[in-house]
Amino acid sequence: MVNKIPSRIRWAVDFMDVQPNDHVLEIGCGNGAAADLICRRLEGKGKMFAIDRSEAGVDRTKARCAAHIEAGKLTVRQIDLATLRVPVKRLTKVFAFDVNLFWVRDAAEEIALLHERLMPGGSVNLFFDTTRPEQVSDILAKASEQLRDGGFRVYIVDSKMPPVIGIIGRR
Ligand SMILES: C[S@@+](CC[C@H](N)C(=O)[O-])C[C@H]1O[C@@H](n2cnc3c(N)ncnc32)[C@H](O)[C@@H]1O
């Protein structure tokens, strides 16, 4: 069976403009749809590291993306972002979709960790579904502020259909 990629995920991954040699970290990979799409766009030295703190998320990503793991493109780990250890300054892009920690609480430590591990010019790409419009101004204000406080240059992107906003931080 072919697993469909939801349009919100496709829009976000298209926006992020994955390059064949990117080193991508996904936070909160869930059912693995974004990891699948991103890995399809990696070639050569391109690699992806997908994490989720939930066992169910990791299991679903591993099952869906078995071919990418087998091909050596993808590593999936059950871990909380706060305790992530990856080599310093290797990442080119960080991707997260509907991962609330960036706007519901203080994420200064996690953002510092991402800043330290991203190459200069690399980006953090935080996307959120906007089907609950009453949350959008809070998401934008809080996630932008936290990225800015963490040393990123921030800009906002949005789509009406599918309903998605992105808060992009450039290192
Ligand atoms: C709402 S789900 C979204 C899943 C997927 N990104 C999507 O859009 O379909 C949020 C996911 O992020 C994971 N998550 C939340 N906080 C996390 C953290 N601090 N570290 C790692 N994973 C986290 C959760 O376990 C969950 O699988």
Q: What token pair was written down for 171?
A: 């290192």
Q: If you search the block for the tokens 């953002």, which residue do you land on?
A: 111
Gap from CA of 99 to ligand 1 centroid (Å): 5
Residue with the smallest CA separation from ligand 1 atom 9 is: 30
Task: Give the CATH number of domain 7-170.
Answer: 3.40.50.150
What pLDDT shows up at residue 86? 72
- Cα–Cα distance measured from residue 28 to residue 60, given in angstroms and rounded to the nearest whole number: 12
Gap from CA of 134 to ligand 1 centroid (Å): 21
| Averaged pLDDT in 10-residue chunks for the chain of 171 residues | 86 98 97 98 95 97 98 96 80 97 96 95 97 95 98 97 98 96
| N-terminal to C-terminal alpha carbon distance within the chain | 39
Phi-psi region of 44 (alpha: psi -120 to 50; beta: other; left: phi over 0): left
* pTM for the whole structure: 0.97
Pick from 52, 60, 61 the residue to mutate for probing ligand 1's pocket: most ligand atoms within 8 Å of its CB.
52
